[in-house]
């Protein structure tokens, strides 16, 4: 049974703890006077971040957990403040005395520690990677994020679904369309409305376009991190063309505001011509890149994640499928009717994640060719009904989960679990027995979001 999410709700006199599995949903109530829950981390290791997040957000402690350190609260954050409680109204607070964070390390003769980040060269967001090293060999890695805690879940409280949308679609730039898909499905369910087939096709087309953009970006950067910069130049050109196509179709390079309930005219002939050209270019790229022995010498067997460990850590997306786990939220009748194929690899290494991206780009192009249609539909959205709603979407990174409670027409509680929140916890499993120079290569092969992880 796969763990999807675990989160808390402030229900006034008590907390409700909701645990989502792929097969069932569990709910329990704990007292506010002494809030404690039993940890799930011994059977589901990825539960530990959910539980540490609840500890920081609500003050709920996990009994028998193997890790009770703060997750969101950094060295000067007042640990007695729990921002997700309804009673929390502060706009600012004084920093407490510096309290060093105790990293997980391996110690021993000739073992030393290497810290990377949280500030990095370039424009990526902050993230800290703490290595225990024996020479060049990585013995252990601890990933630490949440340096730009934006309080998005708190920010969304009291907003209508329409007011929340501009915030949600900007949570993570490489998943903007996917976040909008989740928002759309909740709007439709809460209003008891139906999305016309032609409009659904348009939305699916944009989701595949977003996937293509980011897979192509990764197909350039993964070889680049192995010293093969020519691949980056080639793939970046294709990715930029796709990004411009996104702007042409939606008015924004990242597709902000793209998922709505209006019909929009598109130039089908031009779009088909671009897809035909992209299909040929990706085929050429595959033929070329598969015949570079020095590259595959770096990719093969590097950053291996076994199927057993991928399942144990409840991984999703490319990370799971490259290790042989057949998991994709697009596995339904709608996508199957438009050419979707559930693709996997078995070796679980960087090479598998790279090959899988090529195959998924090709499948996305095939789907997009089926999904193009003149949209003349009209979708009328009814009034929003109070209730508890959840939605899923397969982003370019993996399964995105969103849960929203509506009360008196506005958001009472919003919980979002980006696929990166799960997959970041499995990255350390890929590092053992590889050299530290392979860390950027392994990390990039997973293409995890910092922003989506750090709400």
Separation of alpha carbons 233 and 212, rounded Å:
16
Please state, for a pLDDT cut of 70, what percent of the chain lies above it.
99
Residue 172 has pLDDT above 70, yes or no: yes
Mean pLDDT within 339-350: 98
Q: Regarding predicted confidence, which is higher, 377 or 92?
A: 92
Residue 232 scores a pLDDT above 70: yes
For residues 378-390, one letter each, b for 16 or more C-beta atoms within 10 angstroms of the residue's C-beta and e for the rest, the string is ebebeebeeeebb
pLDDT for the residue 30: 96
Over residues 218-228, the pLDDT tens digits come to 999 999 999 99
Give the strands of the sheet with 3-10, arranged side by side. Answer: 3-10, 14-21, 25-31
Q: Is the pLDDT of residue 377 over 70?
A: no
Give me 311's structure tokens: 């399942």
What average pLDDT is seen over the chain? 94
Distance CA 226, CA 354 (A): 12
Question: Running DSSP on this structure, what letter comes out for residue 16?
Answer: E
Where do the domains of the chain lie? 1-102, 159-450
DSSP classification of residue 124: P
pLDDT confidence tier of residue 117, bands split at 50, 70 and 90: confident
Q: Which residues does residue 130 pair with via DSSP β-bridges, in sequence order?
A: 115, 142
397, 318, 317: which is closest to 355 by C-alpha? 318
What DSSP state is assigned to residue 72? S
Compute CA distances 52 → 33, 104, 351, whole Å.
Answer: 19, 15, 33
Q: Which of the pair, 149 or 69, is modelled with greater confidence?
A: 69
Q: What confidence tens digit (pLDDT) does each residue in 417-451 have?
A: 999 999 999 999 999 889 999 999 999 999 999 99
**Segment 59-114, tens digit of pLDDT:** 999 999 999 999 999 989 888 899 999 999 887 788 889 989 999 999 999 999 99
Q: Which segment of 73-77, 166-170, 338-342 scores lowest on mean pLDDT? A: 73-77
- With a cut of 80, say whether residue 265 has pLDDT above it: no
pLDDT beyond 90 at 347: yes
Strands 61-63 and 25-31: unpaired
pLDDT at 14: 96
Q: Which residue has the higher pLDDT, 278 or 75?
A: 278
pLDDT of res. 169:
97
Whether 187 and 381 have beta carbons less than 8 Å apart is answered as yes
Specify the CATH superfamily of domain 159-450: Cytochrome-c3 Hydrogenase, chain B (1.10.645.10)
Q: What are phi and psi of 129, to 5 degrees?
A: -125, 115
Please report, rounded to a whole number, the percentage of residues in the chain having pLDDT higher than 90.
Answer: 85
CA dihedral for 55, 400, 125, 162, sign (positive or negative): negative
What pLDDT sits at residue 376?
Answer: 65
């Amino acid at each position: 049974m796969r763990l999807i999410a675990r989160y808390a709700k402030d229900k006034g006199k008590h907390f409700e703890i909701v645990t989502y599995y792929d097969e069932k949903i569990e709910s329990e109530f704990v007292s506010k006077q002494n809030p404690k829950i039993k940890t799930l981390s011994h059977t589901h290791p990825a539960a530990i971040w959910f539980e540490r997040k609840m500890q920081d957000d609500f003050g709920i402690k996990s009994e028998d957990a193997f890790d009770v350190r703060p997750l969101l609260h950094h060295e000067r954050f007042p640990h007695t403040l729990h921002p997700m409680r309804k009673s929390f109204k502060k706009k600012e607070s004084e920093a407490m005395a510096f309290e060093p964070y105790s990293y997980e390390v391996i110690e021993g003769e000739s073992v030393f520690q290497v810290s990377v980040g949280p500030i990095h060269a370039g424009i990526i967001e902050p993230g800290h990677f703490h290595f225990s090293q024996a020479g060049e060999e990585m013995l252990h890695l601890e990933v630490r994020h949440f340096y730009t805690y934006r309080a998005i879940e708190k920010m969304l409280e009291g907003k209508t679904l329409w007011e929340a949308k501009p915030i949600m679609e900007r949570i993570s730039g490489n998943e903007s369309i996917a976040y909008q898909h989740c928002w759309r499905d909740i709007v439709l369910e809460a209003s008891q409305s139906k999305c016309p087939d032609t409009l659904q096709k348009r939305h699916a087309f944009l989701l595949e376009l977003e996937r293509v953009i980011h897979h192509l970006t990764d197909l350039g950067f993964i070889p680049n991190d192995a010293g093969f910069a020519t691949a980056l130049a080639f793939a970046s050109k294709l990715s930029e063309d796709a990004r411009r196509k996104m702007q042409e179709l939606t008015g924004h390079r990242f597709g902000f505001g793209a998922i709505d309930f209006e019909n929009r005219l598109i130039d089908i002939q031009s779009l088909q011509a671009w897809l035909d050209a992209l299909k040929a270019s990706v085929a050429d790229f595959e033929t070329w890149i598969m015949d570079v022995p020095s590259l595959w010498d770096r990719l093969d067997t590097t950053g291996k994640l076994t199927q057993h460990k991928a399942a144990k850590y409840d991984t999703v997306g490319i990370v799971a499928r490259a290790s042989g786990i057949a998991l994709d939220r697009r596995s339904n009748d709608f996508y199957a009717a438009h050419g979707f194929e559930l693709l996997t690899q078995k070796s679980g290494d960087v090479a598998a994640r790279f090959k899988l991206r090529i195959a998924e780009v090709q499948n996305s192009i095939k789907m997009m060719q089926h999904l193009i249609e003149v949209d003349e539909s009209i979708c009328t959205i009814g009034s929003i009904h109070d209730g508890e709603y959840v939605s899923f979407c397969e982003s370019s990174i993996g399964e995105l989960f969103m849960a929203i409670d509506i009360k008196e027409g506005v958001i009472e509680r919003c919980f979002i679990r980006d696929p990166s929140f799960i997959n970041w916890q499995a990255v350390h499993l890929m590092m053992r027995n590889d050299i530290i120079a392979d860390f950027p290569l392994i990390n990039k092969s997973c293409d995890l979001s910092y922003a989506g992880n750090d709400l």
